[in-house]
Amino acid sequence: MTNSVSSTRPALGRGLRFQWEPAQNAHVLLYPEGMIKLNGSAGEIMKRCDGKRTVADITAELERTFAAQGLDKEVEAFVAMAVEKRWLEIQP
Amino acid sequence: MNAVLQPEIRNRPGPPLWLLFELTYRCPLHCVFCYNPTDFKSVGAELTTEDWIRVLGEARALGSVQLGLSGGEPLARDDLEPIVAEAHALGYYTNLITSGVGLTEARLQALKRGGLDHIQLSFQDSTRQMNDFLSSTRTFELKAKVAGLIKQYDYPMVLNVVLHRLNIDHVEEILEMAERLGADYVELANTQYYGWAARNRDQLLPSREQLQRAEAATQRFRERVGQRMRIFFVVPDYFERRPKPCMNGMGSIFLTITPDGTALPCHAARMLPGIEFPNVRASSVESVWYDSDGFNHFRGDSWMREPCRSCPEKHKDFGGCRCQAYMLTGDAANADPVCDLSPYHSIVTEAVARADAAPPSLERPLIFRDHR
């Protein structure tokens, strides 16, 4: 089963920079004159949003990596929020 | 030994997240509201490319992430491109703050290739240039060309317009022009009274009525264009009752390196007497940020006096601006007199009252920033 979110391919929003920041011990998003420090799961999702992987791919990969199940709701909710905030863009 | 050091490490200030390179004080313009020091001619030789690149590396290692490239006009340096490329490779988010003068396609192409993230185009104006600007003459043509290039290279079009008594009545025309240029963001920033602007304050401070009209015009414009163009209107702090949280407190996140390598905790701090500011030619960024008197002097709140010391809002506004306190009261450790709890607040309200009462015409000529 695929729904509308899970088949999309999110990528980093235009004009943003995403990276691991040792001084913050966190993944961060940089934008003009600002920085958002991401929590662990947000960072793990964001780093897989390369415009090639679908949300379903990302969920499956996270479930494998962290030996977890049923992460789809959490991942989809984060992607929807991040698109809303323009941290992510959906690739056609 | 570790046990002794640990509390210090725990209380260590955070890193200089926001690094500003004022690459040069050279500038083709002569703006009356420039915050650069009025004696900029006497500042020593500019840092070399190698110096700037070394500072980039040292600050990045401490945790700096945002790099502002400003001046003067940063494009007056012909090594802007390698500096941007190095900053990008190190992991900085790079912001160019420019008048657009000197931004050719070849240079923009090289900056884009080097990884420049963001451009803020400022409208410099004086009465004369404002007339040029509003009548679509040379200044406007240059801006339009640069704005076109910025969009062509897929940057958001971000405009910054400094407002003052002489142009604030034109806010509507300014916004219409920004719309024609295809601006995505417009910052209408009222003049802050440092450097050349402080000298010209009484000619530049708008009246309360002018300010209200400009805010109303901005609001009408916002309602018309909606999300297409976002507009920030920054009210001059003279009209507020609480001071701005200047620099989020000195030595908290902000580190400026001036053209000669002097490191400052804010753009204007060089004016503060009795404080020696370190220079990156002689000191590492780490020792500048953590060990120097220049950065520790007004860090935290132990320097505060009343009414700040016992104020419940002291960690909200950090007592306001040290430079403004010094310029207006003669002592940088006083509360920023913008605060209505300051015993010196009447200095600010009297300046506003004079602005309200003054005729719209100029009684004294403006002092244009120049090199003489």
**Which residue of A12, A16, A33 is the best one to mutate when testing the B interface, meaning the one whose CB has the most B CBs within 10 A?**
A33
Does the structure show a pLDDT above 90 at A1? no
**Dihedral of the CA atoms B361, B363, B368, B372 (nearest 10)?**
160
Nearest beta carbon to residue B62 from set A23, A28, A30? A23
Distance from C-alpha of A24 to C-alpha of B18, rounded to nearest angstrom: 14
Instruction: Kindly write down the DSSP assignment for every residue of B292-306, as one continuous string.
Output: -HHHHTTSSSTT--T
Residues 82-111 (B) with a CB less than 8 A from some CB of A: 91, 93, 95
Contact A15 B118 (CB under 8 A): yes
Nearest to B89 by CA among A17, A43, A23: A17
Average pLDDT, chain A: 92
Q: Are B21 and B68 in contact (CB under 8 A)?
A: yes
Q: Does A91 touch chain B (CB under 8 A)?
A: no
The pLDDT of residue B141 = 74
pLDDT, one tens digit per residue, over A40-82 is 999 999 999 999 999 999 999 999 999 999 999 999 999 999 9
A-B interface: how many C-beta pairs under 8 angstroms?
A: 39
B49 touching A (Cβ < 8 Å)? no
CA distance to B62, B98, B146, per residue, from B106 (Å): 33, 16, 12
Cβ pair A15:B62 closer than 8 A: no
Other beta carbons less than 10 A from residue B131's beta carbon: 14
Task: Tell me which of B60, B88, B93 to substitute to probe the interface with A (most A C-beta atoms closer than 10 Å).
Answer: B93
Residue B234 CA, chain-centre distance (Å), reads: 13
Instruction: Dump strand ranges (E) for chain A.
Output: 9-12, 17-21, 26-31, 34-37, 88-91
Which structure tokens are listed for B135? 């009548």
pLDDT in the model for residue A4: 78
B49-73 as b/e: b if 16+ CB within 10 A: eeebbbbbebbbebebbbbbbbbbb
Helix residue spans in B153-245 (DSSP H): 171-180, 195-199, 201-204, 208-225
Q: How far is B20 from chain A (nearest CA, A)?
A: 11
Per-residue pLDDT of chain B (372 residues; tens, 9 = 90+): 333 334 344 468 899 999 999 999 988 776 666 767 777 667 789 999 999 999 999 999 999 999 999 988 999 999 999 999 999 999 999 999 998 888 999 999 999 999 999 999 987 654 455 655 544 456 667 778 899 999 999 999 899 988 888 889 889 988 988 898 889 999 998 888 887 778 888 888 999 999 999 999 999 999 999 988 999 998 889 999 999 999 999 999 999 999 999 999 998 899 999 999 999 999 999 999 999 999 999 999 999 999 999 999 999 999 999 999 999 999 999 999 999 999 999 999 999 999 898 765 555 555 656 554
Q: What's phi and psi for A35, nearest 5 deg?
A: -145, 135
**Mind telling me how many Å the CA of A22 is from chain B's nearest CA?**
8
Q: Is B66 on the interface with A (CB under 8 A)?
A: yes
pLDDT, tens only, B1-24: 333 334 344 468 899 999 999 999
User: Are the C-beta atoms of B2 and B279 separated by less than 8 Å?
Assistant: no
Q: Quick check: B18 and A32 CB within 8 A? A: no
Q: Which of B91, B38, B66 is nearest to B201 (CA)?
A: B38
Q: Tell me how far apart the alpha carbons of residues B244 and B321 are, in angstroms, rounded to a whole number.
A: 7
Cα–Cα distance between B171 and B204 in angstroms, integer? 15
Q: Does any CB of chain A come closer than 8 Å to the CB of residue B189?
A: no
Mark yes or no for CB contact B65/A34 under 8 Å: no
Whether A31 contacts chain B with CB within 8 A: yes
Contact (CB<8Å) A15/B91: no
CB B45 within 8 A of CB B15: no
Would an 8 Å CB–CB cutoff place B117 in contact with chain A? Answer: yes
Closest CB to B118 among A24, A28, A32:
A32
What was the pLDDT predicted at B4? 39
Instruction: Tell me what pLDDT residue B42 has.
Output: 72
Cβ–Cβ gap A33/B18 under 8 Å: yes
Contact call for A23 and B155, based on CB within 8 A: no
Whether B352 contacts B202, CB under 8 Å: no
In this prediction the pTM is 0.89
- pLDDT digit string, tens, across residues B260-284: 999 999 988 999 999 999 999 999 9
Residue B87's pLDDT is 98
Q: Does A37 touch chain B (CB under 8 A)?
A: no
Q: Which two tokens stand for residue B342?
A: 């300051």
